[in-house]
Structure 1
Amino acid sequence: MDPTQPTPPVPPSPGGPQPQGWPAPGPYTSPGMPYAAGPYGPPGGPGPGPYGRPARPTNGLAVASLVSGLLCCVPPLGLVLGLIALPQIRKKDQAGRPLAITGIVFSALSCLLLVLGLVTGGFASAWNGFKEGVDEASRSKSPLSLRTGQCFTDRGKLEEYTTEVTVVDCARPHDGEVTGGFKVTGFSSWPGEDAIDAIAEKRCEAVNQAYAMDTWLIPEDAWAYYYLPSSQSWRFGDRTVTCAFATEGKPFSGSVRADATTLNAGQTHFLKAVNPIETVLYLIPEDDPDEDLSANKAWAAKVRTAIDAAHADLGRRSWTGAAAEPVAALRKDLAAASKEWRELAAAADADAYWEAYDKARDPLPGSASARTALGLTDVLPEGGGTSA
C-alpha cells in the first residue's frame, strides 16, 4: 500500500463499539442525525394521523345545559341537562365539562330568581309593566288616525305641527277629545294653511256644538281645537280636518260628549232651546257702551231674541214627571228677563245702558233645577258657561 495515500477507514465490527466516525446505522437513526422523527412524530407523541390524535367529541347535553342556563327561558331544564351531562362526559371521555358546570350554575341562579320573583310578586309587577308599555305603544297614533269620541294626550302639547298623540280612556286625564272631522274639498292643489284654517274654524265650531250640546260639561279652559293637513301630508292625499275640544293647561277628565248618541228626546229639546242664549252672550262687544253704544244695544237685542226663542221652544213640548215644574218656572223667568233686555236694547245713552244692564244681567234665569230634573249636568263649570 502506498504510504502517501490515506488509509481507508476500517469497517466497524457489527455490534461493536465505535471508536470514531459516524454512529452505527440502525432502525431508529440516520446518518448525521441523533434522532429521527418519522411521519408519526417522536415516541410518546400524538397518535396516528398527520394532525395528531382525534379531538374528543363535546357532549351535546352540556351544550344544551349552557344555552338553557344563559337564556333563562326554562331554568330547571338547564340544571337537569347539566347534571345528566357530567356522568356521561366522565364515562365516555367526552369534552364539555366546563360547559355543563357553567350551565348548571346559571340555571341554578335563574331558578333562585324565579322563586324569589314568585314569592315577592316581582314577576307580576314586571308583567303588568310590560303590558302597559305594549298597550301604550298600541295607542300611539298620528293625529290623522283619531276618531270621533276618542280622548288623547298630545306629546307636542298641541303645538302647531303635532306628529304623535296617544289615545287614552276619557275617564283618565287627557289633553283633548275628538268631536268629529270633515274632508276639505274644492281645491285642486295645496290652498295654503290660512285658507284651510278659515274653513276649519267655521266648520269645527258647528261640529263642536253638535257634539257637546250640554255646554256645562265643557271645562273652563277647554277650547275649540283642530288638526289640519300640512303641505307635506296634502301631497299624499290627506284632506282631513280633525275637530276637538282641547286644553293647553291642566288635562281634564271625563267626556264632554252630549249628542244624539247620549241624550234622550227631552234633554235634546231642552238644550236646543237654551243653548242659543249662551252663544249670543259670548258675543258681547269688545268696546263698552261708553265707546260704542250702538254695538252694545244691538247685542242686547240679540240676547233678548234668544231668550224669547227659548221661552217659545220650551213651551212647544209637554213636560211631564219631575221636569214639568222646574221647566215651567224657567219659562216664567225667561219671560221676565225678556223685558229687562228689551229695556237694555232701548237705552238712550251709556248711563241708561249701564243702569239697565245691571237689572238685566243679574236676574238672568238659571236652569240648574230644570237640568237636575232632566238628568243633565247641573253644576256650572267654574268661570265657564252662563246661568242660562
Structure 2
Amino acid sequence: MMVRAQYRSLRGISAVAALLAIGAVGCSDVSDAVDSAKDGAKKAARQRSVFSLDIGDCYNPNGKAEGTAYAVEIVPCDEAHEGQVVGEFAIDKGKEYPGDDGVSTIADNRCPVEAQKYAPDTWALPKGVALFYYTPTKESWATGDRAVSCTYTAEKGTFSGSLDTAKSLKPEQNTYLKGSNAVYEALWANQPEKDTVEDDLAGYKTQAKAVAAALDAHVKGLDGIEGTEVGKLRATLTKASGNWKKAANAADADAFYIAYDPAFTDIDPSKSVAARKELGLATTVPADEAEVWAG
C-alpha cells in the first residue's frame, strides 16, 4: 500500500480562533450567512493540534493531505471524514534527528505494522484509502517530539465509519489474517534492490527464505481452522512453501527462476478469495495487489 508523509507543525497551537465575519447582506442572505457562521464555529471548536492525536480519532486535514500540518478537525467517525488515526509509536529519543528521509523510512516500516493491529484486514478498507503518517520535523524534534501518528486517509473524497475492526474479529479470522499479513510483509519487506536475480541472487534467496518461513507459520495456523476452502488453501500454500524453499536454496539464477514462478503464482491473493468467504472476511482483492499479480 502506498505510504505518504504528512509532517507535523513546527510548533503546537495554543489557541484556535475563528473569524466569522458577516458583511452587509440582504434579508434573503441572512439565513445562509448564519448557517455558514455556525459551520465555521463548529469546525473551529473541533480543531486539535496534531501533537495530541490519539488512535481512533477521525479527522479532516486543514488544507492539503500532505505537507506541514498544525491542526486537524476532529469529527465523529459516523460523519464523513478524510482520515482516521490507526496507530502510533515513538522514535528512539536517544537518536539525533534522522532527517526527513530517515524519519519517513522509520514510518514506512512501522506504520503498516501498527495499522494492522487496529485494522487487520486491509481488504476491508474503503476504496481509495491509503496509509499516511504524521512525523516530527527537525524543529519539533529539537523540542522533544518523537511521536509518529499512522493514519488511513482517503486520497480523494471521504469515508464514514470507524476502521477499528480488530475487536470484532473471531479467533479464526484473526489467525488467518495474522498469517496472511505476515506472508506479504515478508515478501515486500525483503524485496531486493536489484531488478534481476542475476544481479543479486543472494538477496532474492534471502527474500525466498523469509517468505517460506512465513508460509510455514501461516499453514500451521490454518491447521486449526475447519472448512473445505480453508483446507484447499492450506494445500496450495504448503506447495508454495516448498517452492519458496527451493528458490531459497537455488544454486544459480536459472534454478531460482524455475522454483520462483510457481512459488509466486501460488501466493496470488485471488487464490485466497474462497477461503476468505468461508471465514466471513472481505473478498475483493485490493486493486494494487491485483495489479502486481496481473503482470
Flag whether TM exceeds 0.5 (same fold). yes
What residue is the counterpart of 2:278 in the other structure?
373
Asked whether 1:214 is paired with 2:121, we answer: yes
Counterparts in 2 of 1:157 and 1:126: CA distance versus 1, 3 Å: closer
What is the CA–CA distance in structure 2 between the aligned matches of 1:359 and 1:367, rounded to whole Å?
16
CA 1:170/1:182 → structure 2, altered by over 3 Å: closer, same or farther?
same
Checking the alignment, whether the CA contact within 8 Å between 1:156 and 1:164 is kept in structure 2 is no
* Aligned residue identity for 1:381: P
- AA partner of residue 376 (structure 1): L
Q: CA deviation at 1:375?
A: 2.5
Q: Could you tell me which residue of structure 1 aligns to residue 244 of structure 2?
A: 341
Alignment of 1:1-388 (within 5 A): 123=31, 128-168=35-75, 174-183=81-90, 186-187=93-94, 191-192=96-97, 194=99, 197=103, 203-218=110-125, 222-228=130-136, 231-232=139-140, 235=143, 240-246=147-153, 249-251=155-157, 253-254=159-160, 257-282=163-188, 283-287=190-194, 288-315=196-223, 317-319=224-226, 324-364=227-267, 366-384=271-289
Cα gap change, 1:150 to 1:304, in 2 (>3 Å): same
Asked which structure has the greater CA Rg, the reply is: 1
Encode CA deviations 1:125-177: one digit per residue, 9 max, x unaligned.
66554443332222232212322122333235344431122234556665532
Q: Which residue of 2 aligns with 1:75?
A: none
Gaps in structure 1 of 5+ consecutive residues? 1-109
SS in 2 for 1:378: coil
The structure-2 alpha-carbon separation of the partners of 1:207 and 1:286, relative to structure 1 and needing over 3 Å to count, comes to same
Secondary structure (helix, strand or coil) at the match of 1:271 reads helix
CA contact (8 A) 1:285 1:295 kept: yes
- Give the whole-Å Cα distance in 2 for the aligned partners of 1:258 and 1:270: 17
Pair 344,165 (structure 1): closer, same or farther in 2 beyond 3 Å: same
Contact conserved, 1:150 with 1:177, CA < 8 A, in 2?
yes
Structure 2 vs 1, CA of residues 193 and 284 (structure 1 numbering), >3 Å: closer, same or farther?
closer
In structure 2, distance between residues paired with 1:295 and 1:131: 59
The CA distance in 2 between the partners of 1:263 and 1:201, in whole Å, is 26
Aligned counterparts of 2:243 and 2:106: Cα–Cα separation in 1: 37
- Measure, in 2, the Cα distance between the counterparts of 1:275 and 1:360: 17
Which has the higher mean CA deviation after the structures are superposed, 195-204 or 367-376? 195-204
Distance 2:151 2:283 in 1: 23
Q: Do the aligned partners of 1:151 and 1:168 also contact (CA within 8 Å) in 2?
A: yes
Report the secondary structure of 1:367's partner residue: helix
The change in CA–CA distance for 1:193 and 1:167 in structure 2 (over 3 A counts) is farther
**CA, structure 1 residues 199+284, in 2 after alignment: closer, same or farther (shift >3 Å)?**
closer
Verify the 8 A CA contact 1:289 1:296 in the aligned structure 2.
yes
Q: 1:293 to 1:166 in 2, by over 3 A?
A: same
The alpha-carbon distance between structure 1 residues 131 and 149, as it changes in their structure 2 partners (threshold 3 A), is: same
| Cα deviation digits, residues 194-253 of structure 1 (max 9, x gap) | 399376555444322312211223566723423326635864x65543222346x43553
Contact (CA 8 Å) 1:229, 1:239: kept in 2 or not? no
Output one character per residue of 1:47-66: Cα deviation in whole Å (capped at 9) or x when no partner. Answer: xxxxxxxxxxxxxxxxxxxx
- 8 Å Cα contact 1:139/1:168 also seen in 2: yes
CA distance in 2, matches of 1:261, 1:334: 27
Name the CA shift for 1:361/1:178 in 2 (closer, same or farther; >3 Å): same
1:177 & 1:163 partners in 2: Cα distance?
16
Q: Aligned with 2:288: secondary structure?
A: coil
Contact 1:143 1:227 in 2 (8 A): no
For each residue in 1:347-378, what CA deviation from the matched residue of structure 2 results, as whole angstroms up to 9, or x when unmatched? 33223322332222223262212222323221
After superposition, the Cα gap between the structure-2 partners of 1:128 and 1:156, relative to the gap in structure 1 and judged at 3 Å, is closer
2:46 and 2:277 mapped to 1: Cα distance? 36
Question: Residue deviations 1:302-358, cap 9 Å, x none?
Answer: 21111111111111x343xxxx22222211111122222233223332233223322
RMSD: 3.5
After superposition, the Cα gap between the structure-2 partners of 1:345 and 1:314, relative to the gap in structure 1 and judged at 3 Å, is: same
C-alpha separation in 1, matches of 2:251 and 2:79:
52
Higher strand share: 2
User: Which ranges of structure 2 fall in alignment gaps of 5 or more residues?
Assistant: 1-25
Q: Which amino acid aligns with 1:349?
A: D
